[in-house]
Amino acid sequence: MKLTIFRLGVSFPAPDGGQNKVLDDIGLSVAPGEFVALLGASGCGKSTLLNAVAGFHPPTSGEIWVDRRRIEGPGRDRGVVLQTDALFPWLNARRNVGFGLRLRGVGTAERDARAEEALRLVGLEGKGDHAVWQLSGGQRQRVSLARALVADPDILLMDEPLGALDALTREQMQDLVLGVWQRTRKTILFVTHGLDEALYLGTRIVVLAGRPGRIVLDEPAAFGRAALADGGGGRIKSTPEFAAARERLREVIFTGAEP
Amino acid sequence: MSPSSPVAVPDIAVPLVVLAEGVPRGAESRAAAARQVSLQPRPGHARLWISAATITVLLASWWAASASGAVPALFLPSPQSVASRLWRIATEGFVDATLAQHLAASLFRVFAALAAALVIGVPAGLAIGLSTVGRGILDPIIEFLRPIPPLAYLPLVIIWAGIGETAKVLVIGLAMLPPIVIATAAGAQGVAKDRLNIARALGATPAQLLRLVVLPSALPSILTGTRIALGAGWSTLVAAELVAATRGVGFMIQSAANFLATDVVVAGIVVIAAVAFALELGIRLLERALVGWSRHA
């Protein structure tokens, strides 16, 4: 599924009565199966961009297309994972994962079976009966990912999904996300403020900077695929190439222009 | 209990106004207590022992005051006489009905009122919590209704609904409505935006959002509102049974006051307190069963 963002602008009402322009003239075309790491400093509008693609917030100008359908609101073709796991605490892990199927009227038995399958995909087999509060932060985020996957979306939108996790769990989760991407071949739009994370995960790095936010860098990356071939584990992060790419990215983010 | 205890005053309307006026304040302090309990760790044994000792001391002073003859039995009957009177009301009855029949009449009124208040109050609360229009329409009505003591609108309700069972249920229901509406509205407003967005992304229709996300999210709050409402309704009972009742615990107390049967009055008060305690306990069990998850969230 091809995601096309065409001259997208998003404004919010400002306290002084005017309009606060958060995004301006964003153009982005994402090919099926791409893993786009959307990187930027705090307040550059990267979450706003993701919310617009998810359909949570209507664009002020421009259009967003998934294949030949123009986005008018949230939809099942775009799965969403947020920084807060946003699980439903009154449901156990399995029922959380199966929530999207329940909305479609899928019967309990099939729902539970498919939820269990999705839980296996994120390494949580046998945890289906656990209540949300019995799961760790990383496990909750995995349930959240499984919940998005079980609806079989074309595109996965992830808004700093690992941002609230501790450093070690985050590293493990990065490998898990890479593994899920490799197995499902979903198109992924992954918002992050972590340089390492963006470089490690993305097949393409898009940097937003400025106010209103514009795309200041858009280039392919190869560390993710290399990491997969390497068996993950984040070892690639200590190579000189990775460090050099990291420094360059840092420059771009803080100066807002390509060096 | 002081010698100027209100139960001995022939004009029983006076103390009842005091009782009715106390309802809103009592409801609020109970809400505050409910919040505190859920935030604090479980009370230790020490506190239980202190509470038990306090009750024992109070009972002993009551017994001493009546046994020594310092306070005449008309003002303060002894604990034994109240207990034996309670037994006789339970077995033989008082004013043509046994205690169980009085209790059944009162409980029926309170639960009929609760059912009505929930059927009206939960949708109204959702409307206030979720829609600007709903809030604009319903909020002033609830804010107008909330501070009025039930005894103040009792005459109006009787003019409208007559002196039958409907009027009594209506008065209790009106006292129960505001806490349920306000708690439901607060619960609906407190639904995490991320959860709503995720459900929308998964394809939820507005009706599904309401049924599968908003209602379960608001349920802990609705149950808290129900607990406060039950307290408010039970407190309003005596006022509701003031007019043309032939059964009910509140009616029993009032008839007893007319006969200066102080022991029945005190027994009735003890019964009302015990039932209120049982209702509170019941709701807490219900909360544990239905929204146990909210204690971990």
A165-190 pLDDT per residue, tens: 898 889 889 999 998 998 999 999 99
Q: Report if residue B147 sits inside a domain.
A: yes
Q: What's the rounded Cα separation, in Å, for the pair A142 and A128?
A: 12
Q: What's the gap in Å between the CA of A245 and the closest CA on chain B? A: 34
Q: Report if residue A163 sits inside a domain.
A: no
Q: Which of A82, A102, A133 sits opposite B198 (nearest CB)?
A: A82
Q: Report if residue B48 sits inside a domain.
A: no
Instruction: Provide the domain limits for residue A42.
Output: 1-77+171-259
**What pLDDT is recorded for position A258?**
52
- Return residues 138-177 of A near B (CB < 8 Å): 144, 147-148, 151, 157
Q: Report if residue B119 sits inside a domain.
A: yes
Q: Report if residue B15 sits inside a domain.
A: no
CA B119 to chain CA centroid, Å, is 18
Closest chain B residue by Cα to residue A55: B201
Q: What is the three-class DSSP state of A16? A: coil
User: Quick one: pLDDT band at residue B267, thresholds 50, 70, 90?
Assistant: very high
User: Does residue A103 share a domain with residue A49?
Assistant: no
Closest chain B residue by Cα to residue A156: B201
Mutate to test the interface with B, among A72, A81, A83, A90 (most CBs of B within 10 A): A90
Q: Report if residue A141 sits inside a domain.
A: yes
Q: Report if residue B1 sits inside a domain.
A: no
- Mean pLDDT over the full length of chain B: 84
Which residues are registered as beta bridge partners of A215? A208
- The C-alpha angle with vertex A205 and arms to A184 and A66, in degrees rounded to 5, equals 55
Domains contained in chain B, number:
1
User: Does residue A133 share a domain with residue A7?
Assistant: no
Q: What's the gap in Å between the CA of B176 and the closest CA on chain A? A: 27
Asked whether residue B201 carries a pLDDT value surpassing 60, the answer given is: yes
Q: What is the three-class DSSP state of A159? A: strand
Mutate to test the interface with A, among B191, B202, B214, B293 (most CBs of A within 10 A): B202
Q: What's the rounded Cα separation, in Å, for the pair B100 and B89?
A: 9
Q: Report if residue B3 sits inside a domain.
A: no
Cβ <8 Å between A89 and B294: yes
Domains contained in chain A, number:
2
Q: Report if residue B33 sits inside a domain.
A: no
User: Does residue A88 share a domain with residue A22?
Assistant: no
**What pLDDT is recorded for position B21?**
35
User: Quick one: pLDDT band at residue A53, thresholds 50, 70, 90?
Assistant: very high
Portion of chain A with pLDDT greater than 70, in percent: 98
Cβ <8 Å between A132 and B293: yes
CATH of the domain at A66: 3.40.50.300
Q: What's the rounded Cα separation, in Å, for the pair B154 and A217?
A: 72
The interface predicted TM-score (ipTM) is: 0.91
Which of A120, A152, A184 is the endpoint of a domain? A152
Portion of chain B with pLDDT greater than 70, in percent: 85
Q: Report if residue A15 sits inside a domain.
A: yes
User: Does residue A180 share a domain with residue A227?
Assistant: yes
**What pLDDT is recorded for position A157?**
96
Higher pLDDT, B31 or A201: A201
Q: Report if residue B199 sits inside a domain.
A: yes
Q: What's the gap in Å between the CA of A144 and the closest CA on chain B? A: 10
Asked whether residue B212 carries a pLDDT value surpassing 80, the answer given is: yes
Asked whether residue B283 carries a pLDDT value surpassing 70, the answer given is: yes
Q: For residue A133, which residues of chain B lie inside 8 Å, CB to CB? A: 293, 296-297
Q: What's the gap in Å between the CA of A55 and the closest CA on chain B? A: 8
Across the range A129-135, mean pLDDT stands at 93
Q: For residue B222, which residues of chain A lie inside 8 Å, CB to CB? A: none
First-to-last C-alpha distance (Å) of chain A: 33
Asked whether residue B95 carries a pLDDT value surpassing 50, the answer given is: yes
**What pLDDT is recorded for position B41?**
53
Which residues are registered as beta bridge partners of A214? A209
CATH of the domain at B286: 1.10.3720.10
Asked whether residue A108 carries a pLDDT value surpassing 80, the answer given is: yes
Q: Report if residue A247 sits inside a domain.
A: yes
Cβ <8 Å between A100 and B219: no
Q: For residue A145, which residues of chain B lie inside 8 Å, CB to CB? A: none
Q: Report if residue A166 sits inside a domain.
A: no
- pLDDT (tens digit, 9 = 90+) per residue, A1-50? 789 999 999 998 888 888 888 998 899 999 999 999 999 888 788 899 99
User: Does residue A11 share a domain with residue A90?
Assistant: no
Across the range B149-156, mean pLDDT stands at 88
Across the range A133-155, mean pLDDT stands at 93
Max mean pLDDT range (A2-11, A206-215, B42-51, B115-124): B115-124
Contacting A with CB below 8 Å, chain B residues are 192, 194-195, 197-205, 208, 212-213, 216, 219, 291, 293-294, 296-297
User: Does residue A254 share a domain with residue A189?
Assistant: yes
User: Does residue A224 share a domain with residue A184?
Assistant: yes
Q: For residue A52, which residues of chain B lie inside 8 Å, CB to CB? A: none
Give the per-residue SS3 of chain B.
CCCCCHHHCCCCHHHHHHHHHHHHHHHHHHHHHHHHHHHCCCCCHHHHHHHHHHHHHHHHHHHHHHHCCCCCCCCCCCHHHHHHHHHHHHHCCECCECHHHHHHHHHHHHHHHHHHHHHHHHHHHHHHHHCHHHHHHHHHHHHHHCCCCHHHHHHHHHHHHCCCHHHHHHHHHHHHHHHHHHHHHHHHHCCCHHHHHHHHHCCCCHHHHHHHHHHHHHHHHHHHHHHHHHHHHHHHHHHHCCCCCCCCHHHHHHHHHHCCCHHHHHHHHHHHHHHHHHHHHHHHHHHHHHHHHHHCC
User: Does residue A215 share a domain with residue A257?
Assistant: yes
**What pLDDT is recorded for position B237?**
87
Q: Report if residue A210 sits inside a domain.
A: yes
Instruction: Provide the domain limits for residue B200.
Output: 78-295
